[in-house]
């Protein structure tokens, strides 16, 4: 052990610290948590008890010497960079670089278009918190206690009792809207949501979602279908094909998945549509009577429909973008393509 301490001490004294790179190498090799001195401290437990105190003192001296050499060299490098050469490195006679204006993000463009489309048919915009409690995110929406969405593989919980979490959908805004207002209600809820998913070309742990809710007397599934037909054709074009597939959601009954014909491959098959020619853009259905009751609305008097869609998925289809990760990489080469889009 003593021989190892002496060897490291010699290496520390002989180290060349004339540049920032050499200084960083020295820090990693000797001062860092995985450096040689830390390894010697780990080996201290193998020293005989009667020698451990003396060896420990030598290790502390070695550590202090290494830190002193590092601090001295760092100060010398800093002083060397404040001379006249460094002061004159920048040419102040150069003309200034003019300010450049940015462009609107494609997700912001599509979100604004979604809002405009639904505003034309009487929907307003509602908002709510991104940090939510269990009642508004799950229980009020008819999620049973053993539902997989409550588990850690899907939801980011913020407390041990799982009552605080990052919302997994903007349905929490629907619950708050129904709790605090009486029908008729007709709103969309765009916003950011969080799910513990693997990041890929088609999925991300943070994404934008827009949901819609209409509650009134006599609302039917036909009203839901006509609303979504109108939206899809306004967003993607009058030639867009739409289909509804039966599905299940705890908060709607009956429920359906919404697909449109893939605009990227024109139905021939690609990685976005999984070679099927169809792309799912969201889910929808009639609001479950239990959800209405949980929110203080009489299901014997009122009915309603709800739907939800991912804004990233809609943007990918609208602008034929093949990789969802581009939205969060801040690559200006990608973002500049939308400079002329309004």
129 confidence band (pLDDT: 50, 70, 90): very high
Average pLDDT, the chain: 87
β-pairing, 124-125 vs 185-194, is parallel
41-76 pLDDT, tens digit each: 888 778 788 887 888 888 888 888 888 888 888 888
User: Does 106 have pLDDT greater than 70?
Assistant: yes
Answer yes or no: are the C-beta atoms of 142 and 251 closer than 8 Å. yes
191-204 pLDDT, tens digit each: 999 998 888 877 88
Which pLDDT does position 269 carry in this prediction?
80
Residue 253, annotated as binding a ligand: yes
Tokens of 176: 């708050």
Long-range contact list for 173-177, CB < 8 A, 24+ apart?
173/126, 173/127, 173/128, 173/211, 174/211, 174/213, 174/306, 175/135, 175/136, 175/140, 175/141, 175/291, 175/294, 175/295, 176/126, 176/128, 176/136, 177/126, 177/213
Cα angle 36-41-43, degrees, rounded to a multiple of 5 = 95
286-332 pLDDT, tens digit each: 999 999 999 999 999 999 999 999 999 899 888 888 888 999 888 88
* DSSP per-residue string spanning 20-34: HHHHHHHIIIIISTT
* pTM score over 0.75: no
Answer yes or no: are the C-beta atoms of 37 and 30 closer than 8 Å. yes
């Amino acid at each position: 052990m003593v021989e190892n301490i002496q060897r490291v001490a010699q290496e520390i004294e002989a180290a060349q610290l004339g540049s920032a790179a050499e200084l960083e190498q020295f820090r990693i090799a000797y001062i860092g948590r995985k450096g040689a001195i830390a390894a010697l401290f780990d080996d201290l437990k193998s020293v005989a008890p009667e020698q451990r105190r003396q060896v420990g003192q030598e290790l502390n001296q070695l550590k202090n010497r290494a830190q002193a050499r590092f601090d001295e060299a760092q100060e010398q490098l800093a002083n060397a960079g404040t001379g006249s050469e460094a002061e004159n490195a920048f040419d102040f006679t150069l003309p200034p670089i003019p300010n450049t204006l940015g462009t609107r993000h494609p997700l912001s463009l599509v979100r604004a278009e979604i809002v405009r489309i639904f505003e034309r048919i009487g929907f307003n915009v509602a908002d709510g918190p991104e940090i939510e409690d269990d009642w508004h995110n799950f229980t009020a929406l008819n999620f049973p206690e053993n539902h997989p969405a409550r588990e850690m593989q899907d939801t980011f919980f913020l407390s041990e009792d799982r009552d605080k979490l990052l919302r997994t959908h903007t349905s929490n805004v629907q619950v708050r809207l129904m709790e605090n207002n009486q029908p008729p209600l007709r709103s969309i809820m765009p916003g950011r949501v969080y799910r513990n998913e693997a990041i890929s070309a088609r999925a991300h742990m943070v994404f934008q979602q827009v949901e819609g809710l209409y509650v009134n007397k006599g609302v039917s599934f036909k009203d839901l279908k006509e609303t979504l037909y109108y939206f899809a054709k306004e967003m993607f074009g009058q030639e867009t094909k739409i289909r509804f597939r039966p599905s299940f959601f705890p908060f709607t009954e009956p429920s359906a998945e919404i697909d449109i014909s893939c605009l990227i491959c024109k139905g021939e098959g690609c990685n976005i549509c999984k070679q099927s020619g169809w792309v799912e853009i969201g889910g929808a259905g009639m609001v479950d009577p239990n959800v209405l009751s949980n929110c203080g609305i009489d299901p014997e008097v009122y009915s309603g429909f709800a739907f939800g869609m991912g804004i990233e998925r809609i943007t990918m289809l609208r602008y034929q973008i093949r990789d969802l990760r581009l939205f969060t990489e801040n690559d200006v080469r990608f973002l500049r393509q939308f400079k002329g889009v309004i």
